[in-house]
Amino acid sequence: MKSDKVLDAKGLACPMPIVRTKKAMNELESGQILEVHVTDKGAKNDLDAWSKSGGHDLLEQTEEGDVLKVWIKKG
Amino acid sequence: MAVQALTANEVTQKIFNKVPLFILDVRNEHDFSDWKIEGHDVDHLNVPYFDLLDGVEDILENIPSDKEVLVVCAKEGSSVMVSEMLSETGLSVSYLKGGMKAWSEHLEPVKVGDLQDGGEVYQFVRIGKGCLSYMVISNGEAAIIDATRMADVFIDFAEGKGAMITHVFDTHLHADHISGGRIIAEKTKATYWLPPKDAEEVVFDYQPLEEGNDIIIGNTKIKIQPIYSPGHTIGSTSFIVDDQYLLSGDILFIDSIGRPDLAGMAEDWVGDLRKTLYSRYKALSKDLIVLPAHFMIIDELNEDGSVGQKLSTLFTENHGLNIANETEFRHLVTDHLPPQPHAYQEIRETNMGKINPDEEKQREMEIGPNRCAIR
């Protein structure tokens, strides 16, 4: 899936993945897509909950080994 | 103001001592609703950490100034961040070191009593999950019953007492937690005992528990007497230790009774459960102190943090032991079963030796409270 910005948050421990995601999202326009890569186990549920809470759309997610990739569309 | 790190042990002591606590739990709502820190005077506020990234002003009015504030998250990271934000506003707060992960694994040793010819019985209270394990120590020898997977805690404790672990038991094949029994036995060259009827599919060697074959600990004949007590599982076995204690596994708890369906056999095993509780246990000495393998609610803890009660008291006060009508009993036991423990099938397979998950996976499998009882 195409994205407007890719955030590499691999190896970062909670809360950093969401802290960085929030910051990266701030730099995007509404409708643009942020692609986030994480390895932290808790990040999956947190990204889902954070997106909902912030009015964004979690479009897709894939798991490649240890790495979770999500695509979030800014609301 | 100050940010203090509190260990799981320190928080456990506060829970035992009924210290009023205000817990700001910054995990996401799903995890919070699954399980949380419980105590007599514990208030909670759940605000996911990602809702606080812009600041904590909005929640300040909800934080009381008259009790200790503990910030809690899954592994510690987020609670440290939120604690620091709160302390910048002037509040004094603590965070749980290691987070709920540490809480789930924490074992608090509590002495239950002495043995008749010298020696002691210890209970290990896994306050975050409700599991209870036991160590019987006599004359330099130790026996462990229903050990949880934190094997080193038991091994180190026995070493600290100058005791050699010679026998390790599981009262039944557990579905709610991963047993540390086999690992402890391997590391210490002790004998590992299991009830054979629960062990039909295990892939490792073990010693079969049989009623009538008592095990002796220490020179002073500490009798560990297996009593076949099916109903929670087909092979569930209780132990009478030193003619004083009845280790009832998951058959009988302080405030409830065991559920027979964890291997999908509720209907068939209700009869066994009733016979064990209403006949086999009824025939035992009423002065025995019942020491179960789980507690469900914080109210079951005694003043000193231990969980245990005289069999006679349970026969008077435990509802599950006082249902005269067998049909009513059957309904109680099969009608309102709580959902199966998280990942129970995988846990059973791990305990059978069929699968060998790594530590992180084991942790994940065990997340959440135990659901071993009928409520």
Q: Mean per-residue pLDDT for A36-48? A: 91
Confidence label for B219 from pLDDT (cuts 50, 70 and 90): low
Would you kindly state where each structural domain of chain B is located, as residue ranges?
Answer: 3-103, 123-374
Query: pLDDT at residue B221 above 60?
Result: no
Cα angle B153, B209, B359 (rounded to 5 degrees) comes to 30
- Catalytic site includes residue A32: no
Confidence label for A28 from pLDDT (cuts 50, 70 and 90): very high
What is the percentage of chain B residues whose pLDDT exceeds 90? 77
Residue B231 pLDDT: 78
Contact with chain A for residue B31, Cβ under 8 A: yes
Q: Is residue B252 classed as helix, strand or coil in its secondary structure?
A: strand
Q: Mean per-residue pLDDT for B3-25? A: 96
Residue B372 pLDDT: 79
In contact, B255 and B372? CB cutoff 8 Å: no
* Least confident stretch, A37-41, B100-104, B113-117, B268-272: B268-272
| A-B Cβ pairs (cutoff 8 Å, strict) | 40
The tally of domains found in chain A comes to 1
Reduce the secondary structure of B146-195 to three states and give it as a string: CCECCHHHHHHHHHHCCCEEEEEECCCCCCCCCECHHHHHHHHCCEEEEC
Residue B265 pLDDT: 67
Residue B342 pLDDT: 65
Separate counts of helices (H) and strands (E) for chain A: 2, 4
For residue A59, what is the domain's CATH number?
A: 3.30.110.40
Q: Mean per-residue pLDDT for B84-98? A: 96
Residues of A in contact with B49 (CB under 8 A): 15, 18
CA-nearest residue to B101 within chain A is: A42
Domain B123-374: give its CATH code: 3.60.15.10
Q: What is the DSSP letter of B66?
A: S
Domain range for A49 is 5-73
* Tokens, residue B37: 């820190």
Q: Mean per-residue pLDDT for B267-281? A: 87
Fold of B3-103: Oxidized Rhodanese; domain 1 (3.40.250)
Interface contact B53-A19, CB threshold 8 A: yes
Residue B368 pLDDT: 75
Interface contact B30-A42, CB threshold 8 A: no
Contact with chain B for residue A41, Cβ under 8 A: yes
Residue A19 pLDDT: 95
Query: pLDDT at residue B375 above 70?
Result: no
Q: Mean per-residue pLDDT for A36-53? A: 91
Residue A10's alpha-carbon distances to A25, A54, B99, B359, in angstroms, are: 17, 22, 21, 21
Phi, psi dihedral angles at A57 (to 5 degrees): -115, 115
Q: Mean per-residue pLDDT for B246-251? A: 94
Residues of A in contact with B74 (CB under 8 A): 14, 42
Confidence label for B339 from pLDDT (cuts 50, 70 and 90): confident
First and final C-alpha spacing in chain A = 18
Q: Mean per-residue pLDDT for B6-18? A: 95
